[in-house]
Amino acid sequence: MNPLSRRGRNCTVRARRILITTLFILVVGAAPALAQATHPPVATFSIVAYDPDTGEMGVAVQSRYFSVGHVVPWGEAGVGVVATQANVNAGYGLQGLDLLRQGLSAEEVKDRLLAEDTFPGLEGRQFAVVDANGGIAAHTGPTATVWAGHRVGEHYSAQGNILTGPEVVEAMGDAFEAAGGTLAEKMQAAMVAGQEAGGDARGRQSSAMLVVGKGMGRNINNDVVARLQVEDHPRPIEELGRVLNINLAITAMSRSRERNQAGDGAGALAAAERATKLWPDASDTWMNLGLLSYSLGNRDRALEALRKAEGMNELFRGQLESTLRWTRHPGLDDEFLAALFPGGS
């Protein structure tokens, strides 16, 4: 055999061994990084906010991530709220609330969470905190996936990562400051503006909103004003807005009954009309308006509204009878019932 050929073969074998060894070292050396990458980043944009007039606090979020509402928003009335995202440590939610409960400010909570975080990926964390006094703190780690950043304003912080650019959080802040209505409505306006400015660079999938306020929830002993989640949807922010309107409509119906009991017919009617605009395709809102109109002596408006409600629910008769009982309504007279249900149907 030609010595040069043998030498060439030996060189080839040595080269292969070196290549295999090098690849092995690279794979082993990369193992910790691969282990850290088993969970995708919660790339998203969110807003945390505080209403100084009502004491409400809230979080709203959207992401190209399934069921983001189970990871990012955390809150407790009279305590505070936390949004944790990017290279997310979900434990920041409960840990942050516990620190707030101990009386720490939002800024102190931010510092403690970072100082006590022993999990991988600390430099990629992004989160924001609101305390019960309206204090705001936000953090974007240096390795959070670009574009990443936040904007802190009076009573709010808008933040995001893997965004199309800083214009997203800027638009969110501008929209929140300009919007009217409840805290939930202002946060929703911010979310819509963030999406319109570019949003998550990867697209859309889920959204969520959490609003808390002492004694402000529906029914008895409930501090949750809104807990809304869109798990998987092609237009999650629009869907969040739709279910938010239902939540607002239910609140408006409750207010209409309260105002009517207090003798404020005009206020009751305004709240009932608002409910039909927020949730126009539900028998609930039109039935509420119809019964209120009947109580206020406007039989024509009552009949019109109740007929519309009947057309939206094939089991309307049962819904009406149940509602009359639980609202302790004195009932509808026979002539009116005959007009509403001709033929006794």
Do 102 and 223 share a domain, yes or no? Answer: yes
Quick one: pLDDT band at residue 328, thresholds 50, 70, 90? Answer: confident
Predicted local distance difference test score (pLDDT) of residue 94: 98
Predicted local distance difference test score (pLDDT) of residue 39: 61
Is 73:209 a contact under the CB 8 Å cutoff? Answer: yes
Is 290:282 a contact under the CB 8 Å cutoff? Answer: no
**DSSP symbols for 50-104:** E-TTT--EEEEEEESSTTGGGTSEEEETTTEEEEEEES--THHHHHHHHHHHTT-
Is 68:61 a contact under the CB 8 Å cutoff? Answer: yes
Do 142 and 220 share a domain, yes or no? Answer: yes
Do 156 and 256 share a domain, yes or no? Answer: no
Do 175 and 310 share a domain, yes or no? Answer: no
Rounded mean pLDDT, 321-329: 92
Predicted local distance difference test score (pLDDT) of residue 142: 97
Predicted local distance difference test score (pLDDT) of residue 131: 98
**In terms of C-beta density within 10 A (0-12 exposed, 13-18 middle, 19 or more buried), how is residue 119 classed?**
exposed
Tokens 């949004």 found at: 83
The number of angstroms, rounded, from the C-alpha of 217 to the middle of its chain's C-alpha atoms is: 16
Residue ending a domain, choose from 201, 234, 267: 234
User: For residue 203, is it within any domain?
Assistant: yes
Predicted local distance difference test score (pLDDT) of residue 218: 87
Q: What does residue 203 show for φ and ψ, rounded to 5 degrees?
A: 125, -155
CATH of the domain at 212: 3.60.20.10
Predicted local distance difference test score (pLDDT) of residue 101: 98
Quick one: pLDDT band at residue 38, thresholds 50, 70, 90? Answer: low
Do 328 and 193 share a domain, yes or no? Answer: no
Is 197:167 a contact under the CB 8 Å cutoff? Answer: yes
pLDDT in tens, 117-142: 999 999 999 999 999 999 999 999 99
Predicted local distance difference test score (pLDDT) of residue 40: 58
Write the Ramachandran bin of 245: left for phi over 0, alpha for psi from -120 to 50, otherwise beta. alpha
pLDDT in tens, 75-101: 999 999 999 999 999 999 999 999 999
Do 269 and 309 share a domain, yes or no? Answer: yes
Do 193 and 284 share a domain, yes or no? Answer: no
User: For residue 314, is it within any domain?
Assistant: yes
User: For residue 239, is it within any domain?
Assistant: no
Report whether pLDDT(152) > 50: yes
State the Cα–Cα distance between residues 337 and 341, nearest whole angstrom: 6
> 81 vs 343, which has greater pLDDT?
81
Predicted local distance difference test score (pLDDT) of residue 219: 84
Predicted local distance difference test score (pLDDT) of residue 327: 87
Report the percentage of the chain scoring pLDDT > 90.
82
Predicted local distance difference test score (pLDDT) of residue 306: 98
Predicted local distance difference test score (pLDDT) of residue 6: 34
Do 171 and 125 share a domain, yes or no? Answer: yes
Domain membership of residue 63 as a residue range = 44-234
CATH of the domain at 297: 1.25.40.10
Q: Distances in Å between the alpha carbon of 36 and those of 25, 41, 121, 199, 296?
A: 18, 10, 7, 25, 64
Residue ending a domain, choose from 234, 265, 297: 234
Do 274 and 321 share a domain, yes or no? Answer: yes
Residue ending a domain, choose from 181, 204, 234: 234
Residues with Cβ within 8 Å of residue 301, at least 6 apart in sequence: 289, 290, 293
The total number of structural domains in the chain stands at: 2
> 35 vs 134, which has greater pLDDT?
134
Residue type, 231: E
**What value does the mean pLDDT of the chain take?**
89
| Dihedral sign for Cα atoms in the order 336, 251, 226, 64 | positive
User: For residue 290, is it within any domain?
Assistant: yes
User: What pairing do the DSSP bridges indicate for beta strands 125-131 and 136-140?
Assistant: antiparallel
User: For residue 211, is it within any domain?
Assistant: yes
Do 268 and 315 share a domain, yes or no? Answer: yes
Is 99:118 a contact under the CB 8 Å cutoff? Answer: no
Report whether pLDDT(251) > 80: yes
Do 186 and 302 share a domain, yes or no? Answer: no
User: For residue 29, is it within any domain?
Assistant: no
User: For residue 338, is it within any domain?
Assistant: yes
State the Cα–Cα distance between residues 127 and 137, nearest whole angstrom: 9
User: For residue 30, is it within any domain?
Assistant: no
Do 271 and 339 share a domain, yes or no? Answer: yes
